[in-house]
């Protein structure tokens, strides 16, 4: 049994962090579903920027431009077409798991990250235009994003909360989700609205690579993961969640993101075998997925009590790492990076639209 299949048998979902029209046309995504136990997919502006640069979208860009679509509107037409196709590929999984798995994700414009009302409007519009019940709208878990998450869940829009880095970030995102579910219960609506909370892992170790002692290299991300998982399990067992589950809510799932190993000296599956846990998701790029399928190992599931995370995090604190401040910095840098990627994407689309028309 391959490691990808073993991980699925242990209760963790493997999602692909990539999508291109070429992968859809060639059947590569279907192959990952059939042979690699992949049960979902995530996307972001950087992924689409690279895909559009390949030239695979030139004819579609020319056609849409001729019909009067430009910039952001043109991009969302391209992205929605791809994600509808991907959502249809994962629909059998979605139906078989009664909506627990089989999701794809589309991000609202990162330019809206600090505009709550505009984020809510965009999320509702994109989800309605997609017309697929297994499509998440990605909203950052920034202070401005949290009320948008509540509003979208209350409106029945499934949400993938992104840009979470710490247990505190996770608790805030989970609270926003639960508040939205409570509002649906109070209104007599079905509270079973899908959601995942995406916690970014590898950026922690990159951030402290030049400060951490040798014995602590590449250990901060996994320690933070343990801390987040402890918070997830504690909240899952809380009276608040139990009451909502009795009313029909399904708990927001925890998702591990940014799982490509950045350190060439570290194992290429570090953030996969080190984050095995039931009822969680690990989304990974092609290279990490294929590496884990080829030579990955499945460790014991993460301990619900956090294991030795407090000791490890304490050692980083003793080495001068302010974990709370670093979490805030990483979230701010992540949001800025997404905005930069988005603007690169818009510039590419504008340039290609002009060249092709």
Q: Which residues are catalytic?
A: 138
Residue 35's CB: how many other CB atoms inside 10 A?
A: 12
Torsion sign (Cα): 121, 126, 131, 135 = negative
Spell out the residues 6+ positions from residue 322 whose beta carbon is closer than 8 angstroms to its own. none
Label residues 45-72 b or e (16+ Cβ within 10 Å = b). bebbbebbeeeebeebbeebbeeebbee
Three-class SS of residue 106? strand
* Cβ-based burial of 98 (10 A; exposed 0-12, middle 13-18, buried ≥19): exposed
Residue 296 and residue 273 in contact, taking contact as beta carbons nearer than 8 Å: yes
Structure tokens belonging to residue 190: 């079905």
Nearest to 208 by CA among 222, 200, 218, 198: 218
Rg (CA), the chain: 20
* SS3 category, 109: coil
Residues 6+ apart with CB under 8 A from 102: 39, 40, 90, 91, 92, 93, 94, 95, 96, 134
What length is written for the chain?
A: 357
Buried b (16+ CB within 10 A) or exposed e, 135-155: bbbbbbbbebbbbbbbbbbbb
Query: Hey, what are 184's tokens?
Result: 């649906």
DSSP alpha helices (H): ranges in 155-268?
167-186, 202-207, 220-236, 239-246
H or E element, residue 85: helix 71-96
């Amino acid at each position: 049994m391959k490691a990808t299949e073993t991980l699925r048998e242990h209760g963790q979902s493997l999602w692909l962090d990539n999508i291109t029209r070429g992968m859809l046309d060639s059947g590569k995504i279907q192959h990952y579903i059939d042979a690699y136990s992949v049960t979902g997919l995530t996307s972001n502006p950087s992924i689409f920027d690279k895909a559009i640069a390949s030239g695979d979208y030139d004819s579609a860009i020319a056609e849409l431009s001729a019909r009067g679509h430009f910039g952001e509107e043109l991009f969302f037409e391209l992205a929605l077409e791809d994600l509808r196709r991907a959502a249809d590929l994962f629909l059998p999984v979605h139906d078989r798991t009664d909506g627990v798995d089989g999701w794809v994700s589309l991000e609202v414009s990162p330019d809206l990250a600090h505009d709550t009302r505009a984020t809510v409007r965009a999320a509702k519009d994109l989800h309605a235009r997609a017309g697929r019940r297994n499509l998440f709208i990605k909203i950052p878990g920034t202070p401005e994003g949290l009320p948008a998450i509540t509003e979208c869940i209350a409106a029945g829009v499934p949400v993938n909360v992104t840009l979470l880095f710490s247990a505190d970030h996770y608790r805030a995102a989970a609270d926003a989700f639960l508040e939205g579910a409570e509002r649906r219960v109070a209104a007599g609506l079905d509270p079973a609205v899908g959601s995942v909370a995406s916690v970014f892992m590898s950026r922690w170790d990159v951030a402290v690579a030049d400060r951490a002692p040798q014995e602590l290299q590449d250990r901060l991300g996994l320690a933070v993961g343990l801390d987040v998982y402890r918070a997830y399990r504690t909240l899952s067992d809380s009276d608040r969640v139990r009451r909502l589950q009795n009313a029909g809510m399904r708990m927001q799932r925890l998702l591990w993101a940014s799982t490509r190993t950045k350190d060439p000296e570290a194992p290429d599956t570090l953030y996969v075998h080190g984050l095995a846990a039931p009822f969680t998701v690990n989304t990974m790029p092609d290279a990490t997925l294929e590496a884990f399928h080829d030579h990955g190992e499945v460790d014991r599931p993460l301990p619900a009590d956090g294991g030795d995370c407090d000791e490890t995090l304490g050692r980083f604190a003793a080495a001068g790492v302010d974990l709370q401040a670093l979490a805030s910095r990483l979230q701010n840098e992540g949001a800025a990076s997404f905005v930069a990627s988005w603007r690169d994407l818009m510039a590419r689309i504008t340039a290609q639209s002009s060249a092709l028309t």
